Structure 1
Amino acid sequence: MADQTIKINLSESKKQKPQSDQLGFGKIFTDHMFMMDYIEGKGWHDPRIVPFQPLSLDPAAIIFHYGQTVFEGLKAYVTKAGEVHLFRPEKNMQRLNRSSDRLCMPQLDEEFALEALKQLIIIDKDWIPSAPGTSLYIRPFIIATEPYLGVTASKHYQFLIILSPVGSYYKEGIHPVKILVENEYVRAVTGGTGTAKTAGNYAASLKAQEVAEEKGYSQVLWLDGIEKKYIEEVGSMNVFFKINGEIVTPALNGSILEGVTRNSIIQLLKHWNLPVVERKISMDEIYQAYKNGQLEEAFGTGTAAIISPIGEFIWHGEELVINNGKTGELSKKLYDTLTGIQYGTEPDPFGWVVKVQ
């Protein structure tokens, strides 16, 4: 980027901020957003913070027709002392670039993108909610904007960052959720785009999610796309199981998204000297562990929910109730520790927290 000066155009009409109990997830947005453009041969240019507003795109823009887009999700937290914390934001910027590479999209200067993010948060700092369990969700994303109906990588892009004050991702909060094991639909396969955070992966998940919700379940457990035997993810999260004292999570295999929270959980467990392994794990193994009374806990991990305990699976019509449908001791400890680090109430031995100001 030749010019890294961020132009700032502040909104003249501020929105009314919601009450903490009215937040929900991802429906309310702050006063400003960050934008930057890309043209092949010129590179990224014209970085700017502007009032939150609709985009104007050509109907032939490649994003609409071939889904060339990537995105990220992270959060900002305000501490009791009034500090604003980010949690491992450099990992999100690194993953954004990895996703871009998979979809033939241009790389960002990760340090500059993070600096732009910090400036946007400072401007909209008053939007960060302070009630327990609330935060400011951050959505950086890149879209292909060149108007062209040929199947090829775009030569024009926009990088944007929008902010949304949020409460709990699931209405259940830290309470256990019920999960339907998906035996028909597939989220991703090795060699596909499963390791990229791109819109198509999530569009492909909607049908199974709709079926699960109709049956009264919060999410689906995805199995591998070849044999439909091995566990991959749960909903839009990575997944962990505690089996006979050992914590197991599916190994990254080319179709599983490498979650920042997943990586953090593994580091925490090792820090506590608890046995944690990454390997292939089949649904049949989980079923046998359940039957033998060795399936002690299961939980999903992700930026939105942090830790989402799983209280029940349904597989081939059979209900597998875990820990009497209650939040497990390990799940609660992981949730409390991670959120404590994020909100500045727990020590941060890993140097994960980045202070915005």
Structure 2
Amino acid sequence: MSALSFTPATTDRRVSDEDRAAILAAPGFGQHFTDFMAFARWHAGTGWGEDALIPYGPITLSPASAVLHYAQEIFEGLKAFRHADGSIWTFRPERNAARLQRSARRLALPELPTEDFLASLRAVAAADEPWVPEPTGEASLYLRPFMFANEDFLGVRAAKTVDYYVIASPAGAYFPRGVQPLVVWITDEFARAGTGGTGAAKCGGNYASSLQGKAEAAEHGADEVMFLDSETHTCIDELSGMNVFAVTSDGRLLTPSLTGSILEGVTRESILQLAADRGLEPVEQRLVASEVVEQIAEGTITEMFAAGTAAVITPIGELRARGGSWTIGDGGSGATTLSLRQELTDIQYGRIPDRHGWLTRLA
């Protein structure tokens, strides 16, 4: 049972019904925020406490707060979906809780128990119920749990005071163009993370290190960047915030194996299961970039796609690099890609049976 209750606070700072309706009509991604957020604080020696559901608003930090100097910070991302009967559900939140715990261990932060993680999601979803979009299209309420060191101390050691929050944001499509094939640039200059580093943790530094690569991709007319491993610069790791997959003509679904520098995506894990369910052969292995483009050129790889909580499943139509460009299949959205995407979202929105028990009701 959860030790934290996240008792609701009262507020008169709610967004008006009219303004909220206008936001929900065109939410974009990560641009607007709800009325409440969950909060808890950890102290060395006493553990987690001070939990509450409080009005969404600015966080006050001391200039000496440890997170500002040593980046001791982690986060998660998941969505709340409204079903046709009005209920609100989320997708495999226990996997996000486990990943937050793994990230906490890597960043020397305290682990938040799974039940407390789930309690924080339920508190926010219940308080911000009017913000969860109707089940038309693929709109959802994006939930962002995060944790950071908040001790006033400039010595280099793990902080003894840590804050945890959950904020929420109504979300439409992650890519402004919607479900359209991406052009992806393979960078040979920048690496996202290295073996033994923080690549397998979901921490802000990994995303900061991807930004120059994304800027390089944009300079070459691409939508996204693909990073190679930092040791040999030959094997595919992932995109800036998404795992990558390839569909082959002989019925295999390829994805880079988890090497310690790749984030273990919840969507990634789910896709591997759905692929196996339909008779595709999931293959996790080191994917050498030069071999991948050869297989694209000869037609062995017929589809590619990116996957993550925000992007769901998004097709990749073209790879570009300094050595050339390669159109995948006909450059459009592959049938297997779109079929997997439809199945995944149908499960999330309760349109088809949840045969794996992946959904958890929040409100």
TM-score normalised by the chain length of structure 2: 0.96
Cα shift at 1:317: 4.2
Indicate conservation of the 8 Å contact 1:3/1:46, yes or no: no
Partner of residue 174 from structure 1, selected from 175, 179, 195: 179
2:274 corresponds to 1:272:
no
**Which residue of structure 2 lines up, in the alignment, with residue 53 of structure 1?**
57
1:157 partner amino acid: V
**Distance of 2:178 and 2:111 partners within structure 1:** 36
Q: Structure 1: which 5+ residue stretches go unaligned? A: none
Q: After the TM superposition, which of the residue ranges 132-141 and 166-175 deviates more from structure 2?
A: 166-175
Cα shift at 1:276: 1.4
Indicate conservation of the 8 Å contact 1:77/1:84, yes or no: yes
Indicate conservation of the 8 Å contact 2:74/2:202, yes or no: yes
**Distance of 2:26 and 2:203 partners within structure 1:** 29
**Which residue of structure 2 lines up, in the alignment, with residue 6 of structure 1?**
6
**Which residue of structure 2 lines up, in the alignment, with residue 83 of structure 1?**
87
2:170 corresponds to 1:165:
yes
Q: Deviations over 1:309-331 (max 9, x none)?
A: 00110022411111222100011
**Distance of 1:162 and 1:127 partners within structure 2:** 12
**Which residue of structure 1 lines up, in the alignment, with residue 30 of structure 2?**
26
Cα shift at 1:7: 2.5
2:139 corresponds to 1:134:
yes
Indicate conservation of the 8 Å contact 2:6/2:39, yes or no: no
1:145 partner amino acid: N
Cα shift at 1:120: 1.4
1:133 partner amino acid: E
**Which residue of structure 2 lines up, in the alignment, with residue 217 of structure 1?**
222
Structure 2 counterparts to residues 247-326 of structure 1, below 5 A: 247-326=253-332
Structure 2 counterparts to residues 341-352 of structure 1, below 5 A: 341-352=347-358
**Distance of 1:81 and 1:138 partners within structure 2:** 21
Partner of residue 119 from structure 1, selected from 114, 123, 129: 123
Give the percent of matched residue pairs that are identical in Structure 1 and Structure 2.
Answer: 39
TM-score normalised by the chain length of structure 1: 0.97
Indicate conservation of the 8 Å contact 2:66/2:159, yes or no: yes
Q: After the TM superposition, which of the residue ranges 256-265 and 124-133 deviates more from structure 2?
A: 124-133
Q: Deviations over 1:233-278 (max 9, x none)?
A: 0221010011223211000011110000000000011111211100
**Distance of 2:312 and 2:5 partners within structure 1:** 34
Which SS does the other structure have where 1:59 is aligned?
Answer: coil
2:148 partner amino acid: I
1:168 partner amino acid: A
**Distance of 1:2 and 1:129 partners within structure 2:** 28
Indicate how the Cα distance of structure 1 residues 3 and 177 shifts in structure 2: closer, same or farther if over 3 A, else same. Answer: closer
**Which residue of structure 2 lines up, in the alignment, with residue 338 of structure 1?**
344
Cα shift at 1:174: 1.4
